[in-house]
């Protein structure tokens, strides 16, 4: 039995209505137009009293009344509907879309379903001239509709994942007397494979920045797993925390064939002692108060690549110190794309000394919106105030 309340709730849950056009869906619509030889194509979602079009070709508007629409009929039937000449059918001969604009004659539509199976819209092809469809063409319409349905579901899943990932990011940075702490991340897509974390435990500041290989949902999930692992039992030495994250990637997530470069550090604020492990990241630096740079270089493999060695790689922290006026700067490699290629160190120095840590993060995120940015950008700055 058709359940309109449940159908509308399923559509609302997807949060697709009134979103911008999507090139992936547009591509399917263009393909349908070419393959069926029609002037009009629509991916329509049926809202309460309207049919809203995620994409359309030849119809000229993003929405139309739901009442009397062919797509409303298709959704209520929850099956493929083909009308070869609407003017010759009892059901549609007097339809306002037939006797009035756009004077439809031919309509073929297949329902689109929410993940729970509820019919929420249609992929349809239309013409002002009659058409006939072969069984093979009907099958093609069903296949294209399933393609659109998959893209819409993926779109919704990405949106939900992006919300969850955003919630995992630090929204407040720890306050440590005598230090200025700043950080930020800009995703090139909706999901980032980068993350950073800042946590204060018994007066000791834990600093993490990591970059999972690749883009999209998979790296974002791997990044979330590594973040969770490094956050567990904050009283552990950082070497133990890194070893456990390494084991997680090598054993539990072996099928993903992914690796993660990471910086995991522990700062003792009173002394300024900094213990840092760099797992294949090599983008951690200390900008000294005299303007010189100390590159905390790594000779260690990324997480997920070291456990297969015989004997397994054991990562030990490097110990250094932040003196008054020094700043620890960690970034993902996406930042390199937007820095002055002729003088990247000078670029960072000028921004940090002019704008301070918070201003430097804002500038990095501003540059992340530029044309030269090709990857996620994540930056953390911890400065010991002079």
Strands 194-201 and 179-186: unpaired
For residue 183, the model assigns a pLDDT of: 96
For residue 378, the model assigns a pLDDT of: 92
- Alpha carbons within 13 angstroms on the beta-carbon side of residue 159 total 11
**Class in CATH terms, 4-163:** alpha beta
CATH topology match: 4-163 vs 169-384: no
For residue 200, the model assigns a pLDDT of: 94
If you ran DSSP here, which 8-state letter would residue 324 be given? T
For residue 253, the model assigns a pLDDT of: 62
For residue 202, the model assigns a pLDDT of: 93
Chain mean pLDDT for the chain:
88
Q: CB-based burial of residue 27 (10 Å sphere; 0-12 exposed, 13-18 middle, 19+ buried)? A: middle
For residue 312, the model assigns a pLDDT of: 56
Check if the beta carbon of residue 87 is closer than 8 Å to that of residue 93: yes
For residues 360-370, give the mean pLDDT: 91
Confidence of residue 66 (pLDDT cuts 50, 70, 90): very high
Taking 60 as the threshold, does the pLDDT of residue 1 lie above it? no
Confidence of residue 151 (pLDDT cuts 50, 70, 90): confident
For residue 117, the model assigns a pLDDT of: 86
pLDDT in tens, 91-120: 999 999 999 988 999 999 999 998 888 999
Strands 50-57 and 63-65: antiparallel
Domains of the chain: which residue ranges?
Answer: 4-163, 169-384
For residue 370, the model assigns a pLDDT of: 82
Taking 90 as the threshold, does the pLDDT of residue 361 lie above it? yes
- CA–CA distance, 247 with 239 (Å, rounded to integer): 12
- Find the helix packing angle between 238-247 and 217-231, rounded to 10°: 140
For residue 167, the model assigns a pLDDT of: 59
φ, ψ (nearest 5 deg) of residue 194: -90, 155
pLDDT in tens, 268-326: 999 999 999 999 888 999 999 999 999 998 767 888 875 454 455 678 899 999 999 99
pLDDT in tens, 71-84: 999 999 999 999 99
What are the structure tokens assigned to 51, written together?
Answer: 């049919």
What are the structure tokens assigned to 320, written together?
Answer: 């250094």
Q: Kindly indicate whether the domain formed by 169-384 is annotated with CATH number 3.20.20.60.
A: no
Residues 6+ apart with CB under 8 A from 192: 165, 185, 186, 220, 223, 376, 378
- In this predicted model, which residue has the larger pLDDT, 37 or 149? 37
What are the structure tokens assigned to 87, written together?
Answer: 């003017």
pTM: 0.62
Check if the beta carbon of residue 183 is closer than 8 Å to that of residue 381: yes
Confidence of residue 48 (pLDDT cuts 50, 70, 90): very high
Check if the beta carbon of residue 83 is closer than 8 Å to that of residue 130: no
pLDDT in tens, 213-237: 766 666 777 787 788 888 878 889 9
For the chain, how many residues are written? 386
Helix residue ranges per DSSP H, the chain: 4-14, 23-36, 70-77, 96-99, 135-168, 217-231, 238-247, 344-367
- CA–CA distance, 43 with 28 (Å, rounded to integer): 9
For residues 320-345, give the mean pLDDT: 94
Strand partners, 316: none
């Amino acid at each position: 039995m058709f359940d309109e309340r449940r159908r509308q709730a399923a559509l609302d849950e997807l949060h697709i209505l009134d979103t911008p056009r999507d090139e992936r869906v547009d591509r399917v619509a263009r393909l349908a137009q070419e393959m069926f030889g029609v002037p009009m194509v629509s991916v329509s979602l049926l809202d309460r009293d309207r049919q809203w079009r995620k994409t359309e070709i030849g119809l000229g508007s993003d929405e139309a009344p739901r009442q009397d629409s062919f797509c409303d009929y298709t959704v209520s039937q929850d099956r493929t509907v083909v009308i070869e000449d609407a003017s010759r059918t009892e059901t549609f001969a007097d339809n306002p879309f037939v006797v009035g604009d756009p004077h439809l004659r031919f309509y073929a539509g297949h329902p689109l379903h929410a993940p729970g199976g509820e019919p929420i819209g249609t992929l349809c092809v239309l013409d002002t001239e009659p058409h006939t469809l072969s069984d093979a063409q009907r099958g093609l319409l069903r296949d294209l509709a399933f393609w659109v349905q998959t893209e819409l579901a993926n779109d919704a899943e990405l949106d939900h994942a992006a919300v969850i990932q955003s919630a995992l990011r630090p929204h407040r940075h720890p306050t440590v007397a005598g230090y200025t702490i700043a950080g930020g991340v800009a995703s090139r897509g909706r999901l980032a494979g980068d993350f950073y974390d800042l946590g204060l435990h018994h007066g000791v500041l834990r600093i993490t920045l990591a970059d999972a290989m690749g883009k999209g949902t998979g790296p974002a999930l791997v990044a979330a797993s590594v973040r969770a692992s490094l956050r567990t039992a904050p009283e552990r030495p950082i070497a133990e925390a890194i070893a456990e994250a390494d084991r997680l990637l090598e054993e539990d997530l072996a099928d993903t064939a992914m690796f993660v470069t990471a910086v995991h550090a522990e700062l003792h604020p009173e002394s300024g002692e900094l213990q840092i492990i760099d797992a294949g990241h090599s983008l951690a630096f200390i900008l000294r108060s005299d303007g010189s740079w100390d590159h905390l270089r790594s000779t260690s493999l990324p997480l997920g690549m070291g456990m297969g060695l015989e004997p397994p790689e054991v990562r030990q922290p490097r110990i250094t110190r932040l003196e008054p006026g020094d700043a620890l700067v960690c970034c993902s490699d996406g930042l390199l794309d937007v820095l002055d290629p002729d003088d990247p160190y000078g670029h960072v120095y000028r921004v940090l000394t002019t704008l301070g840590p918070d201003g430097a993060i804002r500038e990095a995120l501003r540059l992340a919106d530029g044309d030269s940015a090709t990857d996620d950008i994540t930056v953390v700055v911890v400065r010991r105030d002079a």
